[in-house]
């Protein structure tokens, strides 16, 4: 049950992050549990884009942001805002859990309510939206709130009676004037701290793989180990993009090292493979130009780039050895230089 709901929240989180409009997002993934489990009653995981940056739970009652010295001044502000926001969230989610339990007449067992709440920011640092979405017992979509800087969209869900106009207006003001500014401010603070992680650019390694299957071949474009997750990659047939409907795969997945991978495949007959020319092409934030890969020349290219990297390394080693030798020779050759060498060494 608990494993299932954790899986569910991760799944829906990636769907939303994937569809996001903003350049960066900050999301709190909160879980409230009624009933006996080994977990705290309330837990929050804070995510900046796809990187975990903080934790809060009802046992420690404090917001811990990952990777910061506790004496840091920034940490105080973050901890204070986090403590306030997650404390408020704890009260509201708890209240709703008990209302739901009562309303749905759930007298026994474990009840799990999950909430995804967060905001997105544009490239220029302006807020883009704030949203809160609830799920009850991993299957019922509950209340959703979405504020896009001009309008509040409110979906009461089917589980509990909705709110009146006054409560909605109160909520719009709370979102606009309190939670959104805190969310954006927190995002900027953490973004500054985590920029080496979140703003890193890792180019994809591109491959075109040919595999024999019954009736012909399966051609797969594979982009591996890139970050951020947005990528455009497709298979070209004689220089023209193959229609997405013909391709299988196409889901961006984690590559296990904090980066991402993507595979798109196409089935072709043996004659077709002989007659036509297939290539892979990808564009990614980390690349100035498109990365193209054709399957005939592919192997050579990999060799060339690996070889040149090896050559550069060899050259560096040789130059370094020459440098050391020359320095040693000079040092033994001249008394004055010996002194300077010793000074340099200390």
Q: What residue ranges bind ligand NAG (CB under 6 A)?
A: 105, 148-151, 230-232, 283-285
Among 301, 305, 253, CA closest to 280: 301
The whole-angstrom separation of Cα 30 and Cα 117 is 8
Of 300, 261, 274, the C-alpha closest to 219 is 274
Q: How far is the CB of 275 from ligand NAG (least distance, A)?
A: 29
For the bound state, the minimum distance from the C-beta of residue 248 to ligand NAG, rounded and expressed in Å, comes to 20
Place of tokens 């900050």: 26
Q: What span, in angstroms and rounded, lies between the C-alpha atoms of 332 and 203?
A: 47
Range 194-221 burial, b when 16+ CB lie within 10 A, else e: beebbeeebbbebbbeeeeeeeebebbb
Q: Are 103 and 159 in contact (CB under 8 A)?
A: yes
For ligand NAG, give the closer residue by CB, 151 or 346.
Answer: 151
Closest contact distance (angstroms) between CB of 320 and ligand NAG is 38
Closer to ligand NAG by Cβ: residue 172 or 230: 230
CB of 197 to ligand NAG, least distance (A): 19
The total number of residues written for the chain in this structure: 346
How far apart CA 14 and CA 50 sit, in angstroms, is 8
Residue 295, SS3? Answer: helix
Quick one: 190 or 262, whose CB is closer to ligand NAG? Answer: 262
CA 84 to each of CA 180, 190, 225, 244: distance values in angstroms, whole numbers, following the listed order = 14, 17, 38, 46
> Measured from the CB of residue 28, what is the shortest distance to ligand NAG in angstroms?
23
Q: Which is nearer to ligand NAG, 71 or 105 (CB)?
A: 105
Residue 283 CB, shortest distance to ligand NAG, in Å, is: 4
> Got the DSSP string for 109-152?
S-EEEEEEEEEEE-TTS-EEEEEEEEEETTTEEEEEEEE-SS-E
In whole angstroms, the minimum distance from the beta carbon of 128 to ligand NAG comes to: 8
Q: Least distance in Å: CB of 153 to ligand NAG?
A: 6
**Closer of 44 and 236 to ligand NAG (Cβ):** 236
Please identify, using beta-carbon distances, which residue of 85 and 184 lies nearer to ligand NAG: 184
Nearer residue to ligand NAG within complex by CB, 64 or 110: 110
Task: Give the nearer residue to ligand NAG in terms of CB position, either 124 or 214.
Answer: 124
Q: Is the dihedral of CA 50, 52, 57, 62 positive or negative?
A: negative
């Amino acid at each position: 049950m608990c494993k299932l709901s954790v899986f569910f929240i991760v799944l829906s989180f990636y769907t939303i992050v994937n569809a996001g409009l903003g350049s960066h997002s900050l999301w709190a993934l909160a879980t409230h549990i009624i009933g006996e489990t080994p977990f705290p009653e309330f837990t929050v995981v804070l995510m900046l884009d796809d990187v975990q940056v903080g934790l809060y739970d009802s046992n420690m009652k404090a917001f811990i942001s990952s990777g910061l010295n506790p004496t840091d001044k920034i940490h105080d502000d973050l901890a204070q805002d986090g403590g306030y926001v997650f404390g408020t969230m704890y009260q509201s989610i708890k209240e709703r859990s008990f209302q739901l339990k009562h309303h749905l007449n759930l007298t026994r067992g474990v009840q799990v309510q999950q909430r995804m709440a967060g905001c997105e920011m544009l490239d220029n640092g302006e807020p883009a939206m704030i949203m809160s979405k609830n799920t009850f017992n991993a299957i019922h979509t509950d209340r959703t709130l979405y504020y896009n800087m001009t309008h509040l969209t409110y979906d009461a869900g089917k589980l509990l009676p909705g709110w009146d106009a006054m409560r909605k207006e109160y909520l719009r003001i709370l979102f606009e004037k309190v939670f959104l500014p805190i969310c954006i401010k927190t995002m900027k603070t953490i973004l500054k701290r985590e920029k080496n992680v979140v703003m890193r650019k890792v180019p994809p390694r591109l491959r075109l793989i040919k595999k024999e299957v019954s009736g012909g071949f399966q051609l797969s474009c594979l982009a591996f180990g890139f970050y951020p997750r947005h990528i455009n990659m497709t298979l070209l047939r004689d220089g023209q993009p193959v229609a997405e409907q013909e391709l299988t795969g196409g889901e961006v997945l984690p590559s296990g090292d904090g980066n991402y991978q993507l595979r798109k495949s196409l089935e072709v007959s043996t004659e077709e493979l002989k007659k036509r020319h297939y290539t892979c092409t990808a564009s990614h934030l980390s690349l100035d130009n498109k990365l193209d890969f054709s399957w005939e020349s592919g192997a050579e290219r990999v060799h060339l780039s690996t070889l040149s990297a090896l050559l550069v390394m060899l050259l560096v080693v040789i130059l370094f050895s020459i440098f050391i030798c020359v320095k040693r020779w000079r040092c033994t050759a001249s008394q004055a230089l010996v002194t300077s060498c010793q000074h340099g060494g200390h």
